[in-house]
């Protein structure tokens, strides 16, 4: 083989040399890809040991259910799982026509069994019950738990219908989160009159040991949640499952709307409502997030707001249930703190809420985290509400959570160990996946 780069210079390269170079390059690429995965594995193992020694079981402040009227719809904020589950079960047990339940995680424990029995009882008395659950999120739950009595699911008339969102999706092997994301939504709609949405999954752990936020609606705005459920059901149902009818709505509620991410349709409004609201802020932005890994635009919007004098605060777990997400979030701390954003780390317990309140007017409560997986990969739903009274309630909740959090300063952060900095750099390539 002759080189054409330098006239008169010949370069003889054997096929064996070419193959060797290719092999070395391939192995180097594999090694580079393996490094962040190995670092994540090491963090996970270390965190499991730490959890045994120091479990996240501390008591934390909660607030009694808070109710405000938004137009013709009554809204109630729940900050304690036991209170929420009591209200949800009361609604299911009082159902007369339909129950629509969609959940990400549904544990086979005391709380999970109580919900299962309440749904069976509703279907047995003739209520039409429709259930959606995510297959991947419940791989550790015995498959038998999701079996329901045959006389309700197979006999005629069928009153209980179950849709399992598949555990394996076509984009998984190609790491395409749009085609491999999960059904991360948590919705309950009863008789088209009562609806619930928020961060709570179903399980005993979440009843008392996790701080989360859910919202109950009663009134015409429940259509927003019903419509979200119906559209998802009809798109993903198997042929043997019935089509649910879209009843439409005569009420237009621009001050209370559901934003629904549907990645297979390239619809991602939740990210848009965050960006629009942050850009409008003139006083304060209060964000509570379980996993805070902002993309470039959201990060830029928060920093821009802080530069113009907006009080930007983020509450997130000091330790969450996903240590890799924690370490990926750490990679943004220096930029946020230097840019004037205040970070508060929730102590002793897991905070799982996905909420924000801006300028005492705008509120969102829902299922989406501020990370790439939620904002561009998963099916999610967030309510967007413009109402000063509800925003005031949510600011009270935010201040309550700050009372159980410590503020992280830039001085403290810059004193972290060199090993911690190396760890953050090693797992940074995983950001596109989360």
pLDDT at 27: 57
- Is there a cis peptide before residue 157, judged by omega within 30 degrees of 0? yes
Nearest to 72 by CA among 251, 309, 259, 307: 251
Give mean pLDDT, residues 337-349: 97
15: pLDDT strictly greater than 80: no
Q: CA 244, CA 341: separation in Å to the nearest integer?
A: 45
Q: In this structure, are residues 342 and 314 in contact, taking their beta carbons and an 8 Å threshold?
A: yes
pTM over 0.85? The answer is: yes
DSSP states of 199-224 as a string? S--BSHHHHHSEE--EEEEESTTHHH
Q: CA 326, CA 174: separation in Å to the nearest integer?
A: 25
The CATH H-level superfamily of 259-433 is: Endonuclease Chain A (3.30.870.10)
Give the whole-number percent of the chain exceeding pLDDT 90: 73
- Which of the pair, 241 or 251, is modelled with greater confidence? 241
DSSP H helical ranges for 221-292: 222-236, 269-280
Q: CA 21, CA 422: separation in Å to the nearest integer?
A: 29
CATH assignment of 66-253? 3.30.870.10
Other C-beta atoms closer than 10 Å to the C-beta of 15 total 8
Interval 183-222: pLDDT, tens: 999 999 999 999 999 999 999 999 999 999 999 999 999 9
341: pLDDT strictly greater than 90: yes
Same fold, 66-253 and 259-433: yes
119: pLDDT strictly greater than 70: yes
Report helix, strand or coil for 132: strand
Q: In this structure, are residues 334 and 414 in contact, taking their beta carbons and an 8 Å threshold?
A: yes
Q: Any idea where the domains of the chain sit in the sequence?
A: 66-253, 259-433
CA distances from 342 to 10, 303, 315, 334, 339 (A): 62, 11, 9, 11, 9
Other C-beta atoms closer than 10 Å to the C-beta of 315 total 23
């Amino acid at each position: 083989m002759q080189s054409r780069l330098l006239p008169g210079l010949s370069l003889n390269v054997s096929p064996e040399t070419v193959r060797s170079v290719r092999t070395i390059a391939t192995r180097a690429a594999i090694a580079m890809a393996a490094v962040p995965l190995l670092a994540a594995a090491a963090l996970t193992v270390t965190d499991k040991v730490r959890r045994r020694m120091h479990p996240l079981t501390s008591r934390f402040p909660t607030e009694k259910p808070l109710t405000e009227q938004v137009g013709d719809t009554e809204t109630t904020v729940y900050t304690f799982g036991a209170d929420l589950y009591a209200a949800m079960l009361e609604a299911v047990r009082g159902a007369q026509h339909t129950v629509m339940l969609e959940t990400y995680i549904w544990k086979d424990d005391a709380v999970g069994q109580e919900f299962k029995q309440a749904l069976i009882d509703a279907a047995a008395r003739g209520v039409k019950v429709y259930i959606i659950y995510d297959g991947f999120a419940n791989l550790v739950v015995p498959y038998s738990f999701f079996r329901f009595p045959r006389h309700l699911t197979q006999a005629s008339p069928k009153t209980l219908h179950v849709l399992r969102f598949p555990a394996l999706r076509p984009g998984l092997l190609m790491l395409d989160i749009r085609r491999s994301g999960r059904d991360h939504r948590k919705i309950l709609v009863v008789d088209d009159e009562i609806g619930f949405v928020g961060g709570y999954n179903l399980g005993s752990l979440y009843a008392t040991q996790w701080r989360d936020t859910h919202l109950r609606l009663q009134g015409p705005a429940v259509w927003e949640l019903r419509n979200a459920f119906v559209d998802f059901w009809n798109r993903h149902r198997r042929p043997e499952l019935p089509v649910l009818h879209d009843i439409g709505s005569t009420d237009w509620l621009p001050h209370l709307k559901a934003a629904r991410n549907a990645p297979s349709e390239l619809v991602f409004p939740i990210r848009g409502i965050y960006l629009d609201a942050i850009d409008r802020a003139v006083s304060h932005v209060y964000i509570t997030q379980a996993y805070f890994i902002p993309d470039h635009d959201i990060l830029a919007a928060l920093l821009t707001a802080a530069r113009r004098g907006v009080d930007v605060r983020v509450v997130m777990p000091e330790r969450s249930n996903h240590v890799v997400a924690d370490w990926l979030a750490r990679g943004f701390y220096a930029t946020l703190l230097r840019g004037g954003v205040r970070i508060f780390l929730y102590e002793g317990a897991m905070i799982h809420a996905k909420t924000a309140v801006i300028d005492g007017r705008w509120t969102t409560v829902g299922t989406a985290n501020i990370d790439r997986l939620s904002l561009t990969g998963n099916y999610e739903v967030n309510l967007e509400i413009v109402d000063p009274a509800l925003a005031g309630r949510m600011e009270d909740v935010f201040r309550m959570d700050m009372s159980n959090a410590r503020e992280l300063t830039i001085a403290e952060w810059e004193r972290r160990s060199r090993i911690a900095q190396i760890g953050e750099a090693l797992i940074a390539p995983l950001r596109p996946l989360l």
